[in-house]
Amino acid sequence: MNLLDALRHAEQQGKKTAQRGAAKLHDLETAVRRRVRGQNVSSASPEPEQERESSGSPKVRTGIVSVNGRDVGEMHCTGGRRTT
């Protein structure tokens, strides 16, 4: 086997390896998309009990109530300067 044959052989092996990797990646992507699609379908139609609970009263979001263990009333921007 001369040098050119060895290079062709190595090129063919690399090509086959790349094709197998691409096929595995495609299969993985398809499986992930199928799984995500299944989750979206199940979350799009909630159970009646969950629907009743969520339609009761809207949740009120609150801001940060403590920083470094200290209660925070109203926060003011100090521009990075420490206030004493």
Q: What is the pLDDT of residues 1-59, one digit of tens each?
A: 799 999 999 999 999 999 999 999 999 999 999 998 888 766 665 555 555 555 556 67
Q: What is the model's pLDDT at position 84?
A: 60
**Domain-located, residue 15:** yes
**Radius of gyration, alpha carbons of the chain:** 29
Mean pLDDT value across residues 65-81: 68
Look up the domain containing 2 and give its range: 1-40
**Domain-located, residue 13:** yes
Q: What is the model's pLDDT at position 59?
A: 73
**pTM listed for this prediction:** 0.43
Looking at the 3D structure of the chain, how many domains does it have? Answer: 1
Q: What is the model's pLDDT at position 40?
A: 77
